[in-house]
Amino acid sequence: MKFSANLGFLWTDLSLPDAIRAAQVAGFDAVECHWPYDTPATQVRAALEETGLPMLGLNTIRGATGENGLSALPGRAAEARSAVDQALDYATAIGAGAMHVMAGFAQGSDAHTAFVNTLTYACAAAKPLGVTILIEPLNTYDAPGYFLQTTSQALAVMTDVDAPNLRLMFDCYHVQLMEGDLTNRLTRLMPHIGHIQFAGVPARGSPDVGEVHYPHIFEHLEQLGYTHPLGAEYKPSGPTEDSLGWLNRL
């Protein structure tokens, strides 16, 4: 298997360019990030070129303090589209292949319509750039009130958008907390998946601690023919290097 370091959680004590370099030294095959916008894209691209690591993806901005995305918020279409444009500009500047469009805190049919409209715009804008648009269900323990909560809801949104470059970000941590049955869900949803992430459950620590036996998950993904790097999006309890025993063993 190949693995990607999510630099939103790993090596947060370093600048983003230095975190990219640390991920390469640790043996990761790729990197991904959350909100890189305070770092000049030229610096990030230089670090990626230096290390040879691809940047798999980034997120649209959260919005104002206390928000967690804008795309499903009724009445905020102009801001949501601006966030999409900002993320696409940054993604293309650093060569990132995917962009996670964050839904935000909302509920109801109006939020569904707003999310579908924003995603339709994002997919159309991203298509000529070769960028994949991702949506990710988040669990209600960490993100209560977030619009997108389950994989079935994500599939309903994807059906309404009906764009080939819209894919599901399957985070094993979130899906286990909300739905469980990871092995069968991965099998069933594989045609819709654009990226997979993982962390220990329920504490979101390293993947060798908790209720999910990730060696089985990784072996199952290999059997399914999944070859893209898997995103390590977990919160180390101390220095990142001290949490990488799982990676060294693999």
173 within 8 A of 211, measured Cβ to Cβ: no
- Integer Cα distance of 27 and 105 in angstroms: 36
Cis peptide before 202 (omega within 30 of 0): yes
Q: Which of 67, 219, 222, 233 is catalytic?
A: 233
Residue 57 vs residues 3, 6, 110, 188, 243: alpha-carbon distances, Å: 14, 9, 28, 24, 23
Is 233 marked active-site?
yes
- Integer Cα distance of 250 and 247 in angstroms: 5
Neighbours of 71 (CB within 10 A): 30
Is 136 marked active-site?
yes
Which helix or strand (DSSP H or E) is residue 167 part of?
A: strand 166-171
Q: How far is CA 237 from the centre of its chain?
A: 21
Q: Which of 136, 179, 211, 222 is catalytic?
A: 136
Burial class of residue 216 (count of CB atoms within 10 Å of its CB; 0-12, 13-18, 19+): exposed
Query: What is the per-residue DSSP string for 209-241?
Result: SSS--HHHHHHHHHHTT--SPEEE----SS-GG
In sequence order, the β-bridge partners of residue 105 are 146
Show which residues are catalytic.
136, 233
